[in-house]
Structure 1
Amino acid sequence: MNVNDYFYELPEELIAQVPLKTRSDSKLLVLNKLNGEIKHKKFTDIIDYLHKGDVLVVNDTSVIPARLYGVKEETKALIEVLLLSQIEGDVWEALVKKAKKIKVGTIISFGEGVLKAKCTKVLNDGLRHFEMIYKGVFYEVLGSLGEMPLPPYIHEKLEDQNRYQTVYNRVKGSAAAPTAGLHFTKDLLKKIEDKGVILTSVTLHVGLGTFRPVQVEKIEDHEMHSEFYMMSKKTADILNDAKQENRRIIAVGTTSLRTLETIMTEQKTFKEISAFSQIFIYPGYEFKAIDALITNFHLPKSTLLMLVSALSSKEIIFNAYKEAIKNNYRFFSFGDSMFISNE
C-alpha cells in the first residue's frame, strides 16, 4: 500500500485553531462502518449511541508542559527540546531541533540553570536521551519552565491550558493530548454512567508513535515509535467480563484503541500490565479488542487515518471525511468528532 493513497485535500480554514467555548458543543459524525451510512449529530448525542452494559475506555494520560527552550552551555546557541517519554528515572527521550549540535555529553540549560539536560545517547531523526538535572520535584520545575506542546498546525495561543487536557486526565507523561477525549464534560460522563455504561481507563503516554509523519512510500515499511502504556487489574477484569458476555468495548480515541489492541494481540487476554507499544494498525488488520471508536478527524497520510480506515474501509472513511468537509466540520486536535460502529 502506498502512503499517497491516504492523502486528501482539506481547506485550511477547517483546521480548528482554538477549542469551542464548551467542550461538548462539537459536532458528531456517526458512521456505520459496515455500510457507510452517515448521520450528523451533536457530541452530546453520543449518549443515544451508547447502550447499557457497554464499556467505554478512556486514556487518562495527562499532558505535561513538554516543550522547553534553552541554551547550549558551551556556545549559548538556542535549542528547542520536546520531551517525549521517560525512559528510566531522570532519563528522558526527547526530540531536538538543531539536533546535529547535540552530542553525547552536551549540556542544555533551561531557566538560567534551574533545569539542565545532559545528552547521554544520540539516536536517529533528531532524537536524543537526556539525563535531567534539577533540584526539587521534576514536574514542578518543568511546570515553571515548559510550554504545552500544541501541534504545529495550531497557530493561535491557547488561553486556557486545561483545554488541552481531558477532564479525566490523571497520569502525567504525555507530549500530546488524547484529543478524542477533549469533547467530554464531567456532566456528560455522569449521564453516560447513569445510563448503565461502564467507564474505565487505560494509560498511554502519547509520544512520537502517535503523531510522527509517515516518511516512507510503502506503508508497510513505516516503523512506529514505542509509547508507554499501562492497564490496571480492575480495568482488565471489566474488559474480560465484557468480552465473555459479548458486550461492546468502545475506545475513546486511537490511543485507547492501540493500547487495547496491543494487549489483546500480545497477551491474548486483558491483564494488568505496563509495557511499550509499537503497534501499527492499517487496512488488513484484524481487530481483537474493540467494537467501536470515538475519534477526531486525522491528518492526511497519517498513521491514524490508516488506523480508522482499517476499522471500516478506506472508501467508507474517505467518503465520511468528504461529507465532513462539505458540512464544515472542524478538523484535528480541537476539531469535531466521529463515532464509528457497526450500527
Structure 2
Amino acid sequence: MDSSLFDYHLPEDRIAQEPAAQRDASRLLVVHREERRIEHRHFSDLPDYLGDGDSLFRNNARVLPARLFAQRPTGGAAECLLLRPASNDGLEWWTLLRPGKKLPVGSSFARDGYFQAFVEEKNDNAEYRVRFELANHSSVAALADELGKMPLPPYIARERSDQRDEADKERYQTIYASAEKSVAAAAPTAGLHFTPKIVAQLEAQGATFHDLALHVGMGTFKPLQTERIEDHQIHREIYEISESTQSALRDDSGRRKVCIGTTSVRSVEDYLAKSDRIVPGNFVSEAAIFIYPPRQFLGVDALITNFHQPNSTLLCLVSAFLDPHGTSGIDWLKAIYAEAIERKYRFLSYGDAMLIL
C-alpha cells in the first residue's frame, strides 16, 4: 500500500498552539460508522453517546516534565530531554541532547546547585545514556518535576522560558495520570479533554473506567518514511495492563469497549494478540504493533481520538478503524478531515477530538 495515501494538507493555522479554555470545551466530531454520517458537537456532550454498559479503557501514564536546561563546561547551553530510565536506581537515563555535536560520549553538563551529568554512551538511534549526580534530589524524575519543562511536540511553539509553562504542566496531562506512572515522553492526548464532571457523569450512567499504562515515546511523532506502508518500521513502546483491566477486556457480556486514544488501542490490540488468558498481576510487554487498513480489531468497539498529523502511523490506525473490513476508511478519513479543516476544528495534541462509534 502506497504511504502517500495518508498525506493531506494541514494549514498551519489549524494546529492548536494552546488548549481550549476548559478541557471539555473542545469540539467533538462524532462519526457513526454504520450510518456513515457525522455530527458536530462539543466534548461536554460525550455522555450523550456513552454510558450504560460501556467499558472505557484509558492510558494513565503521566508525562514527566522532561526537558532540562543546563550548561556545558565551556559555558555554552545544553538541553537534555529525558526519554526513559537506563538503570534501576533512577540515576541513569536515555536522553536526547542538544547540541549533540558538542556533547559527545565522555562530555558533561551541569546546573549549579542541582546536578552534574556525564554522557556515557550513544546508541544507533542518536540517543545518549547519561549518568546524573544529584545535589538534593533522590532521583532524576524528582529533579525533573522541580526544574523540568513539559516536552511539548515540536509543532507547538514555545520559548525556552514561556509564560505558558505552568499552564502546560497542568493541561498537557490527563486528570487521571498516575504519579506512579511517570513514564510518558508525550501525552496520551485524547484523554486531555476529560474532566472530573464528565467522568462522574459517565459513571453515574453506568460506564466503567479501566486503566492501563503505555510508556508513550517520541516515536509516536515519527512520520511514515517508506514508499510502502508495509516497509515502515513502527516504534516500540512498553505497556502494562493490570489483572482487573485484563478481566474487563475479556468480558464477553456484550459491554461496548471504548478506547480513549490510540495508545490505549495499541496496548489493547497487542495484548489480545499475544495472550489468550488473564495473567496474574500485571501483563507487561512491548507494543510493536502497526495497525493499518484493512484490520480486524480484537477489543475495540469505539474510539476517542484527536486529529492527527499528515503521513503518520496514527492516520493509518484511525483509517483502519473507520473500515476494519477494507480500505475505504482512508478516503473517508481524508473527507472528514477536510470538513473539519473547513469548519475550523483545531488539530493535533492541543486540538479537538473525534468520537468514532
What does residue 311 of structure 1 align with? 321
User: Cα distance, 1:239 vs. partner?
Assistant: 2.0
What does residue 181 of structure 1 align with? 191
Counterpart secondary structure, 1:62: coil
**Map 1:215-294 → 2, pairs under 5 A:** 215-241=225-251, 244-269=252-277, 271=279, 272-294=282-304
Counterpart secondary structure, 1:251: strand
Output one character per residue of 1:58-99: Cα deviation in whole Å (capped at 9) or x when no partner.
1111111111222344x4443322112224323322223333
User: Structure 1 pair 303/10, CA: closer, same or farther in 2 (3 Å)?
Assistant: same
User: Structure 1 pair 21/87, CA: closer, same or farther in 2 (3 Å)?
Assistant: same
Counterpart secondary structure, 1:228: strand
What does residue 99 of structure 1 align with? 100
Q: Distance in 2 between matches of 1:303 and 1:127?
A: 22
1:18 matched to 2:26? The reply is no
- The letter for the 2-side match of 1:251 is C
Q: Distance in 1 between matches of 2:264 and 2:278?
A: 13
Q: Distance in 1 between matches of 2:84 and 2:68?
A: 14
User: Cα distance, 1:299 vs. partner?
Assistant: 0.5
What does residue 175 of structure 2 align with? 167
Equivalent position to 1:198, from 202, 208, 213 = 208
User: Structure 1 pair 289/140, CA: closer, same or farther in 2 (3 Å)?
Assistant: same
Q: Distance in 2 between matches of 1:81 and 1:278?
A: 26
User: Structure 1 pair 248/206, CA: closer, same or farther in 2 (3 Å)?
Assistant: same
Output one character per residue of 1:277-326: Cα deviation in whole Å (capped at 9) or x when no partner.
22221223321121111000000101111111111111111111111111
- The letter for the 2-side match of 1:321 is Y
Q: Which runs of 4+ in 1 moved over 4 A?
A: none
Q: Distance in 2 between matches of 1:314 and 1:113?
A: 53
What is the TM-score normalised by the length of structure 2?
0.88
Contact 1:99–1:127 (Cα < 8 Å) also in 2? no
User: Cα distance, 1:147 vs. partner?
Assistant: 0.8
1:85 matched to 2:93? The reply is no
1:207 matched to 2:223? The reply is no
User: Structure 1 pair 210/172, CA: closer, same or farther in 2 (3 Å)?
Assistant: same
Counterpart secondary structure, 2:250: helix
Q: Distance in 1 between matches of 2:106 and 2:3?
A: 38
- The letter for the 2-side match of 1:165 is Q
Q: Distance in 1 between matches of 2:129 and 2:229?
A: 28
What does residue 146 of structure 2 align with? 144
What does residue 115 of structure 2 align with? 115
- The letter for the 2-side match of 1:308 is V
User: Cα distance, 1:198 vs. partner?
Assistant: 0.8
Contact 2:67–2:144 (Cα < 8 Å) also in 1? no
Contact 1:43–1:183 (Cα < 8 Å) also in 2? yes
Counterpart secondary structure, 2:227: coil
What does residue 60 of structure 1 align with? 60
Q: Distance in 1 between matches of 2:278 and 2:94?
A: 28
What does residue 325 of structure 2 align with? none
1:323 matched to 2:335? The reply is no
Number of residues paired by the alignment?
337
**Map 1:149-160 → 2, pairs under 5 A:** 149-156=151-158, 157=162, 158=164, 159-160=166-167
Q: Distance in 2 between matches of 1:123 and 1:77?
A: 24
Counterpart secondary structure, 1:63: coil
Q: Distance in 1 between matches of 2:18 and 2:210?
A: 28
Q: Distance in 1 between matches of 2:277 and 2:336?
A: 32
User: Cα distance, 1:233 vs. partner?
Assistant: 1.0
User: Structure 1 pair 79/270, CA: closer, same or farther in 2 (3 Å)?
Assistant: farther
- The letter for the 2-side match of 1:281 is I
Q: Distance in 2 between matches of 1:187 and 1:102?
A: 47
User: Cα distance, 1:227 vs. partner?
Assistant: 1.7
What does residue 354 of structure 2 align with? 338
- The letter for the 2-side match of 1:248 is R
Sequence identity of aligned pairs in percent? 40
Q: Distance in 1 between matches of 2:230 and 2:101?
A: 29
Counterpart secondary structure, 2:36: coil
Contact 1:263–1:269 (Cα < 8 Å) also in 2? no
- The letter for the 2-side match of 1:7 is D
Q: Distance in 2 between matches of 1:23 and 1:197?
A: 20
RMSD: 1.9
What does residue 6 of structure 2 align with? 6
Specify every segment of 5 or more residues in structure 1 that has no aligned partner in the other structure, as ranges: none
Contact 2:51–2:202 (Cα < 8 Å) also in 1? no
Q: Distance in 2 between matches of 1:81 and 1:7?
A: 32
- The letter for the 1-side match of 2:254 is N
Output one character per residue of 1:17-46: Cα deviation in whole Å (capped at 9) or x when no partner.
111111101111011234531111111111
What is the TM-score normalised by the length of structure 1?
0.92
Output one character per residue of 1:197-224: Cα deviation in whole Å (capped at 9) or x when no partner.
0111111121123222333332222222
